Copies of this chain bind each other. A is one copy, B any other.
Amino acid sequence: MASFKKYRVGAKVGLADIDPGDERFLEDCESDSEQRLRLDALAESLDELQNLLHAEGKRKLLLVLQGMDTSGKDGTIRWVFSRTSPLGVRVAAFKAPSIEELAHDFLWRCHAVVPRSGEIAVWNRSHYEDVLVPVVEGWIDKAETQRRYAHINDFERLLTETGTVVLKCMLHIGADEQRERLQARIDEPAKNWKFAMGDLDARKKWGLYQRAYARALEATSTDAAPWYVVPANHKTHRNLMIAQLLVKTLKDMKLSVPPADPALRGLIVP
């Protein structure tokens, strides 16, 4: 299996170091059908591990998904969790904040939907939007951006120190790949509903977004809550890499079913 280290943001790895077209996690798995089988096997492992997480009933897992429009956040959730019961996986999608949300600090709406014990939460966009859009649009200055990075790190430390494993994945696509995907949403009538004119505005600021992402990732990739850059031009590569990362992470948690209860030995149900 390829190593995740090279994709983990840190002193030596930044967003710009990763090629969106990289297909390292497809190695030894050349045909489409092989890739599908491997993904399916990982999805089933994930289901088993989620059951153990639930049975243990103590710890939690938070998966944060970020990426430019069309980078495949929805698709990742659909395929990586294709075998997991909705009982144990809760998805939160963060849109432009509502008036009520804007009336609170930017972590308020996120805190409300952190995973509960035994649960996996998947965030489709997240609190990181608040160090991306406002930075690109110039609504906040450098000092405020730094303060927000610190708030984010503090918040994530709270989560990790209270039993939540935090994984953050940046779905990294290239500008050309995005053009093709947006164009498909325009050209295929049945996909029109997925397209919004605003998507083109964000695309115009591609470079600014990449820079804001690179800085945010660098400032908030910690030992406890690391960022991984996931090459995502190839959709199955993206899915396989994230599924493998999740399976590895859950295995490393050494989950197990609670021990037998001696008080139940010999009990007969009337």
Contact = CB atoms under 8 A, between A and B. Distances in A.
Interface of A: 55, 57, 74, 77-78, 81-87, 89-91, 93, 122, 124, 179, 182-183, 186, 189-190, 192-193, 195, 200, 203-204, 257-261, 264, 267-270
Contacts of A257: 190, 193
Nearest to A265: B186
Contacts of A183: 268-269
Given A203-B269, A269-B186, A260 B192 contact: yes
Dominant secondary structure at the A interface: mixed
Nearest to A184: B269
Given A186-B264, A264-B186, A269-B182, A77 B87 contact: yes
Given A74-B87, A189-B259, A195-B261, 7 more contacts: A78-B85, A78-B87, A81-B86, A87-B91, A182-B269, A193-B258, A200-B270
Contacts of A74: 87
Closest 8 CB pairs of A and B: A189-B260, A78-B85, A193-B258, A86-B89, A192-B261, A182-B269, A183-B269, A186-B264
B270 A192 contact: no
A70 to B, nearest CB: 10
A198 to B, nearest CB: 13
A204 B269 CA distance: 10
Most chain B beta-carbon neighbours within 10 Å: one of A183, A200, A204, A261: A261
Contacts of A203: 269-270
